[in-house]
Chain A
């Protein structure tokens, strides 16, 4: 496996390159620490508006000419803003690297942000926010995160209706000038390019970019509680969040392996007990995720109202049962699955560039396959079971959405 070369450029932009000389393609990911979590007070949704507004012209081009210029280079691209960051992803042929980076530098450093185009951007953001009503799982999770965090980490990435309606072009431009900056930003490239050549192209395009960005607010939690949202849905949405070991915790990999035993495949405990044995759901899972600096375990199920109570009870019981330990056979199976998924993820440069970016964002360096494998191998049965006994998953935040409250959540 090729190693990623990583360097923090003088202006604070982190560059990571993984050379794959056999491929003609390049996958790019650019992450900026601009998200709902650091939207200014009273401007929730600003990061989302900015991401849309950026495309309305930049450098010497208006919106249409900008889109055409990307297309002329054969660039596949996408961008989105989320709770903690805004990401730009692109795929193109290696000989287009310098030209593609120039276009992105126009978008990030020289956008027009024209007042007359803001109204359309605002209308899209408002429609996106409204459509949460038609996506019960997403709506439930937005409410659940709000129940977990007292800090802005509980914000809805789609913004706040009143704020979206009132944010002015001028305030947004000021916000752009403050938050869109190279410090803390990550640019990762995977494909048929060399490091030195890539660095030169990046310096040419982004060398003059400056600024220190906004940083993040401290994380504040609300004590665990249960909430219910009343909505006339066919299925009750059930979400749980448990505190978990964060990156850097000495037992980080024990916790990750435990999550895999719980929900890492169709023979995992949750799928077996909730779906396969009882037929309670189509979808049930638990997954390790979180925000920078605070990891948690999220569990989800959707089921019809009369079965919601039993579903929630079985889920909580299975998650709590982890404290009694896992079996040798479960641990081995989980390790095989993790190894296979790591190797197969390597095959795709788009998945690889996303995982490089995530590592750099979360822990400030790129883990190699060998490092992850060694860490996983070092977790034996007694170690993981000692960890689970000492750190039981308990006392979750719970959100339900549906026609009525399951008794177990009351």
Chain B
């Protein structure tokens, strides 16, 4: 049910052990979504343990001291939970939605899983699953484009680390290395418990305080090494590609940056499907199978990206058009009517973004992880509406696209 904005409330609290609990409460919702957001990912790994964040995410579902692996799956299904988890370069997120009567059970289950048993036998079985996942993506050049493209663009900076790791790193990884990483990274102060929808706040707080009373208080840091992104072009052949895959990376704005709304609009004007500069320059002319642009707002680092897929024979033409469009964008900026159209579409998107507790959970949780703050949808809508032409064109003053890196995966 869409939020009637007056009814929506935000609550937050930090427990004795350092765990932060946040909730966007909508009493009119039919479900509750809740999950743990851990500020850890492949950028927090060394080469020896590459892929451990993601492998660990899988291992959490293998149970705790109190629960066997198959028992965990049964419990989720007995609640009718819609749930999953994902790992990125910076975050590991566990999320689920249930009908309100099951919320206390779901909270208890997720909380217990944050302290996994990591049994050796489960570790060996799940290692095979991870190796299959790596093999799966090897067959998808459109995914490998970003894995390899990011590694080259970030040029040694940990944001270029692969989330999956490699067959070699996963094969060599030990249970002890994973346990050490888990103990270090999954400390209460590095986790946020987020809830959305029909939440009973007081009861939730009491329950989680009691469940996590034994969690040791601790602190963990993230390294922020200097960033020198690659500039120019790189072309790499891949035997599993028959089409040509292009990605452009350029410096953008980071997650807490107030210019992020303007950055979204800029990416939209540049590469939105159906009506954008790249749509008319490439798709409308039949030069690509698909093209799109977006932003990646990370922790103290931001990136604009473009991806395109094309027939190998079009590679040079497509690259030429991309260079030309980016140069034109930097030189002349965007036009008022482009800004207005992008804002109109975003306004509609925001109306639908409030429909389900699960959508709200993901948005509120990630936003809090990066900014330690909450923005109701109405506030996001207001900030989008307030973006000016000068805001969008201001992003171009530092000439980010003159520092682009074009990565190209081509048939071998």
Known: A340-B99, A347-B1. A233 touches B129 (CB 8 A): no
C-alpha spacing A340/B106, complex, angstroms: 14
1/0 per residue B153-193: CB within 8 Å of A? 00000000000000000000000000000000000000000
Contact B286 A278 (CB under 8 A): no
Task: Please indicate the chain A residues that have their CB under 8 angstroms from the CB of B142 in the complex.
Answer: 134
- Would you give the 0/1 interface string for B124-157, flagging 1 where the beta carbon is closer than 8 Å to chain A? 1111111111011011111000000000000000
Which residue, of B61, B132, B140, B337, has the highest number of chain A Cβ atoms within 10 A?
B132
Asked if B65 lies at the interface with its beta carbon under 8 angstroms from chain A, I say no
Given A235-B136, A333-B77, A344-B356, A120:B345 Cβ within 8 A? no
Asked if A232 is an interface residue, CB under 8 A from chain B, the answer is: yes
Shortest C-beta distance, B200 to chain A (Å), equals: 18
Q: Is B226 an interface residue (CB 8 A)?
A: no
Within the complex, which residue of B139, B279, B337 is in contact with A233, where a contact is CB–CB below 8 Å? Answer: B139
Residues on B with beta carbons closer than 8 Å to the beta carbon of A265: 73, 76-77
Residue interface bits B339-358, CB-to-A below 8 A is 1, else 0: 01110110111011001111
**A276 contacts which of B4, B73, B358 (Cβ < 8 Å)?**
B73
A230, CB-defined interface residue at 8 Å: no
Contact between B285 and A120, CB atoms less than 8 A apart: yes
Task: Report whether A343 and B99 are in contact in the complex, using a CB–CB cutoff of 8 Å.
Answer: yes
The yes or no answer to B66 lying at the interface (CB within 8 A) is no
Residues from chain A with a CB closer than 8 A to the CB of B4 are: 22
> Could you say which residues of chain A place their CB within 8 Å of the CB of B31?
340, 343-344, 347
> Which residues of A have CB within 8 Å of B129?
275, 279, 281-282
Segment of B12-20, B234-242, B249-257, B393-401 in the binding face:
B234-242
B284: contacting residue among A74, A120, A347, CB under 8 A? A120
Q: How many residue-residue contacts, CB under 8 A, span A and B? A: 204
Q: Which of A127, A277, A337 has the most CB of B within 10 A?
A: A127
Chain-A contact segment, one of B34-42, B79-87, B364-372: B79-87
Please tell me if the beta carbons of A130 and B243 are within 8 angstroms of each other in the complex: yes
Complex contact A74–B347 (CB within 8 A):
yes
Q: Find B351's partner among A23, A119, A120 (CB 8 Å cutoff).
A: A23
A75 with B74: CB separation less than 8 A: no
Per the 8 Å Cβ criterion, residues 203-258 of B in contact with A are 239-243
User: In this complex, what residue of A is CB-closest to B309?
Assistant: A131
Interface residues of A in 117-157 (CB under 8 A from B): 119-124, 126-128, 130-131, 133-136
B349 in contact with A120 (CB, 8 Å): no
Residues of A contacting B61 in the complex (Cβ-Cβ under 8 angstroms): 266
Q: Does B118 contact A (CB under 8 A)?
A: no
Stretch of A38-46, A64-72, A388-396 that contacts chain B: A64-72
Query: Given that A265-B76, A336-B78 are known contacts, is A124 also in contact with B283, CB under 8 Å in the complex?
Result: yes
Q: Which residue from chain B places its CB closest to the CB of A343 in the assembled complex?
A: B30
Provide the residues of chain A in CB contact with B126, threshold 8 Å: 279
CB distance from B1 to the nearest CB of A (A): 6
Interface positions of B (Cβ within 8 A of A): 1-2, 4, 28-31, 61, 69-70, 73-74, 76-82, 97-99, 124-133, 135-136, 138-142, 239-243, 273-275, 279-280, 283-289, 309-311, 337, 340-342, 344-345, 347-349, 351-352, 355-358
Binding site for B on A (CB under 8 A): 20, 22-25, 27, 55, 63-64, 67-68, 70-78, 91-93, 119-124, 126-128, 130-131, 133-136, 232-235, 264-268, 271-272, 275-283, 302-304, 333, 336-341, 343-344, 346-350
A78-B274, A130-B242, A134-B242 given; 17 more Cβ-contact pairs under 8 Å: A23-B355, A67-B274, A70-B274, A72-B340, A72-B341, A76-B345, A134-B141, A266-B61, A266-B77, A267-B76, A272-B70, A279-B127, A282-B132, A304-B131, A336-B80, A340-B82, A347-B356
